[in-house]
Amino acid sequence: MSAVTAFLTRTPVIIVSFVTMILVGLSFMPVMQSIDGPLLDTLLSGEAARARLAEMTIEQRYIHFLGTVVNDTLYPFAYGSFFAGLAGRFAPEKLRGWVMLPALSAAVIDLVENTVQALALYGSIDLLNLKDVLTPAKYGLFMLAAIIAIGFAAFALARWLVKSLQS
């Protein structure tokens, strides 16, 4: 077992990453209210992101930029750690790395997507067409990671309940 796997599957790490995921997730609401609409992260294509960007004022772009660089940099670490740790905690050791991979991959893709969006929000360079691939991949891997983590946790809970009832 690698040091990263051993760290992520510890109960305190899973709990802290879950709480962080929820708190950071909630922190997006004021950002969305301040920019009067959806975040670029929620848009599945570069074209849609470019259109949304054109609707924003300079102030809204700045607020969105800060939300992307601060909130949405922390968020992938939080959900990636939570889903990877939860799945790895309850998976058989021979599958541990495989069941953790979707969560960690989603987090990496999300960070790349955030970089693309931050560059566009700042006005540096328009690479928003990459969202055509990055955003659907991020959401797909996020959902897969959630299903795997919840599935392994539910299976472990059911196994524990059966053992408890047999005792």
pLDDT, block means (10 residues), the chain with 167 residues:
90 98 97 96 96 96 97 98 97 94 98 98 95 98 98 95 88
> How many domains does the chain contain in total?
1
CA atoms of 24 and 151, how far apart (whole Å): 24
Range of the domain at 117: 3-166
Which pTM does this prediction carry?
A: 0.92
Question: What is the predicted pLDDT for the residue at 18?
Answer: 98
Closest CA to 59 of 27, 36, 87, 28: 36
CA atoms of 6 and 1, how far apart (whole Å): 6
